[in-house]
Structure 1
Amino acid sequence: MDEMGFDLGEPPAPPPAKGEAYRVLARKYRPQTFAALIGQDAMVQTLGNAIKRDRLAHAFLLTGVRGVGKTSTARLIAKALNCVGPDGQGGPTIDPCGQCEPCRAIAEGRHIDVIEMDAASHTGVDDVREIIEASRYAAVSARYKIYIVDEVHMLSKNAFNALLKTLEEPPAHVKFLFATTEVNKVPITVLSRCQRFDLRRIPADKLAAHFAHVVEAEGFEAEPEALALIARAAEGSARDGLSILDQAIAHAGLEGGGVRADAVREMLGLSDRGAVRELFGHLLAGDGAGALASLRRQYDLGVDPQAVLRTLLEAVHGMTLVKVGTPPDPAQPVEEREALSEWASRLSFPLLHRLWQLLLKGHEEVVRAALPIEACEMALLRVVHASQLPDPGELARQIREGGVQVAPAAAAAPRPAAPALPATAEAIGDTIAQTGRMALAEAWRNHARPVRIEPPEIELSTARPIPSDFPRELMDALKIATGTRWKITTSDAPGTPSLREAERADDEAFEASIRETPVVAAALAAFPGAELIGPKTRRSMT
């Protein structure tokens, strides 16, 4: 532990002797204590409390993005549970000594009772059966027999099923530690039997500080901006960041002068921040030629067009955050923060949102394009054109205040009157029939109980069931027939009777009125069992 509170894992080794294999930084500085885990304080506190109170789960699931320390945490838990202390008399502890035989053997990967399995290459049920059989036997020399299964989501369905019973009721001497980057692929039956820890992405400022101490321990120098670039590129992964740092140190070793920001930017293929600010200035000024020239200069230097648009998106996002008042990113250079603040003060929220949408669409096009640089140029020209358009909100305000003259309606060319839309249930049924969709027209007559008909909107009752695809088919037919997009909604209101129900009620009322006439009533009374065979509906009389 140094004076800044960073535990750099194992002490830095001397330069490798001749014939000795070089250990990459990601392995050399793998955390050997819980204190060395960066950004996982909540998990460490929970584990520490569980160990102190002897409330240890029998299975742990560690999930998170690559390189945040899932496998390292699993090994640390194995050490914490099996540590016996320097005197051999200690018990489980959140601060394993690192000196006893169990701690050393686990750190070196040679402890017989700590078994690691890569589920990506051992996916079958037979591999799990071996674990189940072996788990019945007590640990050889450790307090607990521990199984560490990496990328557990790769196990087959049958393998998971075979593991369930043992996972739910394992022997007292067995602990399972699972690690995965895709927790959504782990069956819920397994998740419910594990204590889950979500390892967080490591913040960029903490990664940059950690890399600074690693560089110092390695005897090199590095510019703070270079380390900030590496921390951003790592995307929350300590392992990825250390791998990039390893490459940057090797690059600096050839050129001298330590790890420089421009060298890291070139190595990562990132756009130069100054060049991006110049390009963004051309875009806001509506200078298409200047924007294209700036883009081509970066392209000629080897910068990928996707990287240019990605950096512009980051800039727009940064301006928006500044405008809403979020705290500044400590990993950002001072001049970049000043530029973002200055732009944020000049640009409105609607314009920032428009820039974001245009750049995002351009980035998607460049990703798919056969000609990436040409697609990038076209995307930037769209941004230039959009920057010259008036802001809709400001334009509306000027119109309200009389600052913009709107041409009178009489000056506009007369438009032909649109045909009236069907506004009754009968008219709608006839309109559907005109499209030739007779089955749909019949369904309208039999099932539709309108709550409201206000063209081009119809609200249908679902108090009695209607076919699930009926509203969509009705909307399509009316659009074809009228050329207007209709909105069909449903509600549980009772609605009016369907056309068929209305016709049936009218028929019954008409027949009742015929039967009640004096002549018909007298005839039916004089001849019991007689039937009325004449017209029974008003429609049959027309």
Structure 2
Amino acid sequence: MNNNSKVLALKYRPQVFDDLIGQEVVAETITNSIKADKIPNAYLFTGIRGIGKTTTARIVAKGLNCSKGIENLCKKDLCENCKSIADASHIDVLEMDAASKTGVDDVRDLIEFSRYGPTSAKYKIFIIDEVHMLSKQAFNALLKTLEEPPAYLKFIFATTEIKKIPITVVSRCQRFDLSRIKSTELFEFIKKIKDKENGNVSDEALKLIVKISEGSVRDALSLLDRGLLSLEQNTELDLNAAQKIFGYFDKSQLINLFELILKGEEKKVINIYRKIYDQGVEPKVFINDFLEILYYYKNINSLSLESTNFSLNDEEFSKIKEISNQVNSEILILFWQFAVSSLEELDIVSNQHLSIEMFLIRLMHLSSIKLKQDTKKEQTSHNIDDRIQKKKKENEFDDNSRVINQIKNVAQEEKHKPDVKQEVEAIDKNLINSFEDLLDICTQKKEIKLKYELEKNVNLVKFERNRIEISFNDNLDKDFVKDLSSKLFEWTSERWIITFSKSKGEMSIKEKQKNRKDKLINEVKSSETYQMVMEKFPDAELIDVKLNGKEEDKND
């Protein structure tokens, strides 16, 4: 076959270790083992499609059988062995596709054939592609030969499904995990191929090819081949043309679409989506690209332009970063959940195009509701900030008064310096004047278990200075009274009497909170806003209601 008539993936298939890209560690390890004459009984290459598993297997076979040796491995002027291996016609190097020969009888024939030594080469080599397709019985038949083969026999396995291979087989092989090719490395590689083929392709189009290929060299070369054949001579394959050929669309359209969704401009959003759909983009592809953009919006501050694998250009990266700082993370997470559920929905509906339009409309209504809630939160936070600032000023005034008094009485303090412990105790004595104060001090002192018992299992009957009367439920901890008494003495330096009453007492704090929550939920369910939400999202469920600061104060 004329070399120019071959597809690019075959025409530029690596022939020696130096031609491999992205697998330098694997190549160096294998080369060193052959040089040191420490060759394993079996090699096992695993990784995604199109990164060089079978190609590496052939190069290893050449390295073992080349007439010139591993250090002078044939590259241009091929020896008889290397030429036959490259053409898959060598009598001592047998390539077998396990997908078509999966049975135990096929493996028995292989073992029978292995009893005879090599005819014209140093080693007899069996290359088994997609080895995970062999049956369980076939693997078992291979085990003994694999563990103790004749000195002249070597196995080379290739697979994309390493987990499907029995561990007993994997343990008898020297395993090599071929890594996915880095985007920058793959870009430089196909750019060189484009120059050799005199192809007129823009860098942006090449970057799109790299993105679509997902680290597979074969996929990248196949896409490049398709792109070069799709255009007339002297016509450049630019980004727009590549997007049409490969069924992808401009990411900037999706970024603009997202911005308009947040603004709630329904007509513009639908129009942009229809333009994208008219370009031939499938609804599932659209949703997957939308999810990708959501990921960038959520994590853009922890990413660099290079780490996006050419999915974004400089302008798009900057725009996403600018918009992401104005969007609440909760909205992005909700959008993600809706997008994933819509992706599942596409398999059910007959008209996927209409389903996507409804998905975008739902997102607009969802973002508008969330933004209204966020506005209320901001107002609440402003109120809280004002109260904090006011409290700080009062404290500063009190502190200044104390400082002045201390300056006036320096001499007296030096003469009558009080015991620090007594001073602390005097302050702490006045901390607990109510049941609420007791809960607060538990929070401050990080007595979480004690606070839990007080809120959940205790019903207050009466609270007085140094005396607490309570009733309780069956879940109250048996050491509660002892723990509470010791802590009260520690905090106030005074003995407290805790008594149990037959009276039912007040509801527990948790019961009060639950009743208040149920009341608020019922009030909200009768509101117009709730009715509007349920009309838009009939499957929605109201779980909780949060009030702003002023309303909480009123309820209290």
Selected match of 1:172 from 119, 144, 151:
151
Map of 2:256 onto structure 1: 278
Give the root-mean-square deviation of aligned CA atoms. Answer: 2.7
Map of 1:236 onto structure 2: 215
Map of 1:288 onto structure 2: 266
The CA deviation string for residues 361-398 of structure 1, in whole angstroms up to 9 with x for no partner, is 22232244322011111111121122213367886565
Distance 1:94 1:308, change over 3 A: farther
1:42 alignment partner, SS class: helix
Selected match of 2:325 from 315, 329, 345:
345
Map of 2:355 onto structure 1: 375
Map of 1:147 onto structure 2: 126
Structure (1 or 2) with the greater helix fraction: 2
Q: CA deviation at 1:270?
A: 1.2
CA distance in 2: counterparts of 1:350 and 1:61, whole angstroms: 45
Distance 1:284 1:27, change over 3 A: same
Selected match of 1:197 from 150, 165, 176:
176
Which residue identity is paired with 2:14? P
Map of 2:440 onto structure 1: none
Q: CA deviation at 1:343?
A: 2.2
Map of 1:61 onto structure 2: 44
Map of 2:35 onto structure 1: 52
CA distance in 2: counterparts of 1:40 and 1:121, whole angstroms: 29
CA distance in 2: counterparts of 1:227 and 1:335, whole angstroms: 18
Instruction: State whether residues 123 and 159 of structure 1, in contact with CA within 8 Å, keep that contact through their aligned partners in structure 2.
Output: yes
Instruction: State whether residues 234 and 240 of structure 1, in contact with CA within 8 Å, keep that contact through their aligned partners in structure 2.
Output: yes
The CA deviation string for residues 186-221 of structure 1, in whole angstroms up to 9 with x for no partner, is 111111111111111112222222111111111111
CA distance in 1: counterparts of 2:8 and 2:124, whole angstroms: 30
Map of 2:20 onto structure 1: 37
CA distance in 2: counterparts of 1:93 and 1:37, whole angstroms: 16
Q: CA deviation at 1:269?
A: 1.3
CA distance in 2: counterparts of 1:321 and 1:48, whole angstroms: 41
Which residue identity is paired with 1:77? V
CA distance in 2: counterparts of 1:63 and 1:32, whole angstroms: 19
Q: In the alignment, does 2:380 pair up with 1:399?
A: yes
Distance 1:185 1:382, change over 3 A: same
Identity %: 41
TM-score when scaled to structure 2?
0.65
CA distance in 2: counterparts of 1:35 and 1:279, whole angstroms: 46
Paired positions, count: 387
Selected match of 2:10 from 21, 27, 31:
27
Q: In the alignment, does 2:246 pair up with 1:246?
A: no
CA distance in 2: counterparts of 1:150 and 1:360, whole angstroms: 36
Instruction: State whether residues 46 and 53 of structure 2, in contact with CA within 8 Å, keep that contact through their aligned partners in structure 1.
Output: yes
Matches within 5 A, 1:427-466: 454=475
CA distance in 2: counterparts of 1:346 and 1:32, whole angstroms: 53
Map of 1:299 onto structure 2: 277
Selected match of 1:78 from 61, 64, 78:
61
Map of 1:105 onto structure 2: 84
Distance 1:97 1:349, change over 3 A: same
346-355 vs 36-45, greater mean Cα deviation: 346-355
Map of 2:368 onto structure 1: 388
2:155 alignment partner, SS class: strand
Q: In the alignment, does 2:301 pair up with 1:320?
A: no
Instruction: State whether residues 63 and 73 of structure 2, in contact with CA within 8 Å, keep that contact through their aligned partners in structure 1.
Output: yes
Instruction: State whether residues 15 and 75 of structure 2, in contact with CA within 8 Å, keep that contact through their aligned partners in structure 1.
Output: no
1:346 alignment partner, SS class: coil
CA distance in 1: counterparts of 2:54 and 2:71, whole angstroms: 19
Which residue identity is paired with 2:132? H
Distance 1:330 1:64, change over 3 A: closer
Unaligned stretches of 5+ residues in structure 1: 1-11, 17-21, 405-422, 424-451, 456-542
The CA deviation string for residues 519-539 of structure 1, in whole angstroms up to 9 with x for no partner, is xxxxxxxxxxxxxxxxxxxxx
Selected match of 1:263 from 241, 249, 252:
241
Which residue identity is paired with 2:241? A
The CA deviation string for residues 155-205 of structure 1, in whole angstroms up to 9 with x for no partner, is 111111111100011111111001111111111111111111111111222
Instruction: State whether residues 249 and 279 of structure 2, in contact with CA within 8 Å, keep that contact through their aligned partners in structure 1.
Output: no
CA distance in 2: counterparts of 1:189 and 1:453, whole angstroms: 57
1:126 alignment partner, SS class: helix
Map of 1:186 onto structure 2: 165
Distance 1:214 1:97, change over 3 A: closer
CA distance in 2: counterparts of 1:381 and 1:241, whole angstroms: 36
Map of 2:337 onto structure 1: 357
CA distance in 2: counterparts of 1:160 and 1:378, whole angstroms: 52
CA distance in 1: counterparts of 2:12 and 2:141, whole angstroms: 37
Q: In the alignment, does 2:288 pair up with 1:310?
A: yes
Distance 1:348 1:94, change over 3 A: farther
Q: In the alignment, does 2:109 pair up with 1:126?
A: no
CA distance in 2: counterparts of 1:398 and 1:38, whole angstroms: 57
1:178 alignment partner, SS class: strand
Map of 2:193 onto structure 1: 214
CA distance in 2: counterparts of 1:397 and 1:383, whole angstroms: 22
Distance 1:282 1:138, change over 3 A: same
Q: CA deviation at 1:453?
A: 7.1
Distance 1:76 1:454, change over 3 A: farther
Map of 2:203 onto structure 1: 224
Which residue identity is paired with 2:322? E
Instruction: State whether residues 271 and 307 of structure 1, in contact with CA within 8 Å, keep that contact through their aligned partners in structure 2.
Output: no
Map of 1:494 onto structure 2: none
Q: CA deviation at 1:282?
A: 1.3
Unaligned stretches of 5+ residues in structure 2: 386-456, 458-472, 477-556
Q: CA deviation at 1:271?
A: 2.1
CA distance in 1: counterparts of 2:219 and 2:94, whole angstroms: 26
1:211 alignment partner, SS class: helix
Q: CA deviation at 1:232?
A: 1.0
CA distance in 1: counterparts of 2:475 and 2:53, whole angstroms: 60
CA distance in 1: counterparts of 2:18 and 2:333, whole angstroms: 42
TM-score when scaled to structure 1?
0.67
CA distance in 2: counterparts of 1:159 and 1:292, whole angstroms: 56
CA distance in 2: counterparts of 1:394 and 1:33, whole angstroms: 64
Which residue identity is paired with 2:37? D
The CA deviation string for residues 336-378 of structure 1, in whole angstroms up to 9 with x for no partner, is 2222222233224333323322222222322443220111111
Instruction: State whether residues 50 and 217 of structure 2, in contact with CA within 8 Å, keep that contact through their aligned partners in structure 1.
Output: yes
The CA deviation string for residues 294-348 of structure 1, in whole angstroms up to 9 with x for no partner, is 1112212322122222222221222333222445446332222222222233224
2:232 alignment partner, SS class: helix
Map of 1:505 onto structure 2: none
2:88 alignment partner, SS class: coil
Instruction: State whether residues 305 and 373 of structure 1, in contact with CA within 8 Å, keep that contact through their aligned partners in structure 2.
Output: yes
